[in-house]
Amino acid sequence: MSAFLRRTNRTSPIGIDLGSGNIKMAQFKQIPKGLSLVNFGILPMPENAIREGKIVNSKLIVEALKELLKFHSFVGQRIVASVPGQLVIVKEILIEELPEDELREAIKWEMEKFFPFPIEKTTFDYKILNRVISENESSDKINVVVVAAPLDAVQSIVDVTKEAGLEPIAIEVEPFSKLRLLQFIPDFDFKSEILFVMLNIGHTYTSVSMIDKGMVNFFRTLPIGGKKFTDAIAQSLGKEFKEAQEIKETKLNLNNRKDPGTKAVLPLLDNLLLEVRRSINYYFKKFNDGKSVDTVILVEGGSANLKGINEYIEESTSFPASTDQLLADIAEVSPELFTKEYLLEMAPFFSVATGLALREHRARPAIKAKKAREAQKQQKKPFFKYKKG
Ligand SMILES: Nc1ncnc2c1ncn2[C@@H]1O[C@H](COP(=O)(O)OP(=O)(O)OP(=O)(O)O)[C@@H](O)[C@H]1O
Ligand SMILES: [Mg+2]
């Protein structure tokens, strides 16, 4: 009985994404008709509070977290936060097949060769991908995906959130929050042969997560994001950073190829997309004998709001690209609380926070409710553009 009471009194977790540009928080609750969006909030990350993903001024972050909590009606203190993507390493390793208890030790040894930080200062998890039958050697090998993050980064997130009066129930890595997010898309199941490329273009970095049949098989970050776009505009137009940022966010349209601002941004975007294409090709080679599979690109992060970016990505990669607006799409939203326009504009910022916030929610009832809502309105809005190749 007491366990039952404890369960029902528990509040849903608030997902917290500590980005270098903005702190984002989102919370959902389970309702009889699936999921409801309780609230979401965004606040600029204080300057010099975070550097290369590491917290360098925790006091400023604690204050910002408290401010966000004060302005929005989040419920309870339970939170799930994520380790910034730049600090996360996802690597596939080939290793001898061993019993489970020995496998973890063996992976540790193997990781020492690849990982840039000492293993005893790392937290890691792994998933077995497949078995590779060996003809010459005595035992078979297995492909394992290892996800690792530095322990001190995890600890400093626990410390700042606790200091802000919150109760961290989990600290996750970004690609796992993406994987959870995809589970809330109707008609998508992990048996489908679709490769999801989630491109989170933030302020200082872009993350590329590739998810296929329910596994995060690839994750990498590239040091290009909105800040570099703004720097390039500022330099090209001879403006201060703040003004250049304003121009980028309100006036820039990548379809105006002759515009000097667009001309300043495109070389950076081209570099980024070259790496994205390389990553996708690597993926096809590694996981599908070099053959392409149906691929969907979901564009997220604040820079997904750059006008014309989806078209540009489609042109460059030849895969369909859609903006990730799952914050707005997976739950019931009260029109009295948020206007549809505001919600859709803000949604791309919140893809990581949304995935984190869904940690204790079940996908199936949410999907059922979403389908019922659509049937009532007699319209079906696709979550992403999808074209069979
Ligand atoms: N309308 C817009 N057009 C273009 N860029 C935009 C727009 N709105 C916001 N941005 C850019 O989005 C970026 C912030 O996005 P986001 O909050 O996702 O980054 P972050 O998660 O804090 O950064 P990171 O993940 O790199 O640490 C900023 O560079 C901002 O200028
Ligand atoms: Mg981010």
The architecture in CATH of the region 89-151 reads 2-Layer Sandwich (3.30)
Per-residue pLDDT, averaged over 197-224, amounts to 94
pLDDT given at position 214: 83
Asked whether 303 lines ligand 1 (CB < 6 A), one says yes
Task: For residue 294, give the nearest of 315, 320, 326, 317 by alpha carbon.
Answer: 320
Over residues 8-39, the pLDDT tens digits come to 578 999 999 999 999 999 999 998 888 999 99
pLDDT given at position 138: 67
Asked whether 122 lines ligand 1 (CB < 6 A), one says no
Over residues 127-180, the pLDDT tens digits come to 888 777 766 666 788 889 899 999 999 999 999 999 999 999 999 999 989 999
- Distance between Cα 129 and ligand 2 center (Å): 27
CA dihedral 279→282→286→288, nearest 10 degrees, is 90
Burial class (CB in 10 A: 0-12, 13-18, 19+), 232: buried
CA-based end-to-end distance of the chain: 54
In the predicted model, is pLDDT for residue 384 greater than 60? yes
pLDDT given at position 1: 38
Alpha helices, DSSP H, located in the chain: 2-9, 58-71, 100-114, 151-163, 174-182, 226-237, 241-250, 260-288, 309-317, 326-329, 340-346, 351-357, 363-377
Neighbours of 284 (CB within 10 A): 15
Residue identified by tokens 């950073």 is 241
For domain 2-87+152-377, the question of CATH label 3.30.420.40 is answered with yes
Tokens of 134: 């060996």
- Distance between Cα 301 and ligand 2 center (Å): 6
Over residues 286-314, the pLDDT tens digits come to 888 899 989 999 999 999 999 999 999 99
Report which protein residue has its CA nearest ligand 1's atom 5.
Answer: 303
- From 248, 255, 269, give the residue whose CB has the most ligand 1 atoms within 8 Å, as the site to mutate: 248
What is the spatial distance between Cα 266 and Cα 185, in angstroms, rounded to a whole number? 32
What is the spatial distance between Cα 186 and Cα 183, in angstroms, rounded to a whole number? 8
Per-residue pLDDT, averaged over 258-266, amounts to 97
- Distance between Cα 121 and ligand 1 center (Å): 31
Q: Which atom of ligand 1 is nearest to the CA of 201?
A: 18
Task: For residue 280, give the nearest of 321, 324, 223 by alpha carbon.
Answer: 321
Asked whether 205 lines ligand 1 (CB < 6 A), one says yes
Name the residue ranges covered by the structural domains of the chain: 2-87+152-377, 89-151
CA distances in angstroms from 19 to 44, 156, 224, listed in the order given = 9, 14, 14
For residues 104 and 144, the answer to whether their CB atoms sit within 8 Å is no
Ligand having the closest approach to the CA of 242: 1
For residues 12 and 75, the answer to whether their CB atoms sit within 8 Å is yes
